[in-house]
Amino acid sequence: MKLAVCIYEGPYNHEASDSAYNFIKAAIVKGHEIRGIFFYHDGVYNVTKLMDPPQDDRHIANRWSELGASGIDIVVCIAAAKRRGIVDDVLVPNVRISGLGQLTMMAIEADRMVIFGD
């Protein structure tokens, strides 16, 4: 089944990002296709390479980048990102900034869209 995931909250501050990550890992193990991951609202902060968490904590941005490296399309909303100072220069590799049209295509093309937020 084609699944898409949308994340609305920033990293560390809210469990949404962790829930989404755990869900996606489990979906991949089960053989589902991840049509895309879309970051909206404060979710856009999930993929900045400027984050530098303590060594003994998870590195949320790197985790997303690794999923992107595996071929999953990870999209950051341009309108939400610009508002919050997230631009191409600060993104981790394997994610891209694009428009809400991408969210629309995911909502239309994926069999299920799962939203993680507050």
Partner 1 sequence: MSEENKKKIMFTVRKPPHGTIYVYEGLEVKLIMAAYDADISVVFIDDGVYALKAGQDTRELGIKGFEATYGVLVDYEIQKVFVDRKSMEERGLTEDDLLVIGEDEDTEEPIRPKMVDSSEIAAMMAQQHNILSF
Partner 2 sequence: MLHTVNKSPFQNSSLESCMRFTQPGDVILLMEDGVYGAVSGTAKAPLVEAALARKVRVCVLGADLKARALNDTIKGTEITDYAGFVDLVAENKIHSWL
Of residues 87-116, those binding partner 2 (CB under 8 A): 112-116
String marking each residue 33-52 x if it binds partner 1 according to CB under 8 A: -------xx-----------
Strand partners, 33: 2
Residue among 24, 77, 80, 113 flagged as catalytic = 77
Nearest approach in angstroms of CB 113 to partner 1 is: 4
- Three-state DSSP state, 42: helix
Sequence-distant (6+) residues with CB within 8 A of 43 are 6, 7, 8, 9, 10, 16, 17, 80, 117
**Residues 46, 38: Cα–Cα separation, whole Å:** 11
6 is catalytic: no
The residues of the shown chain that bind partner 2, judged by CB under 8 A, are 1, 3, 8, 15-16, 19, 22-23, 25-27, 29-30, 32, 112-118
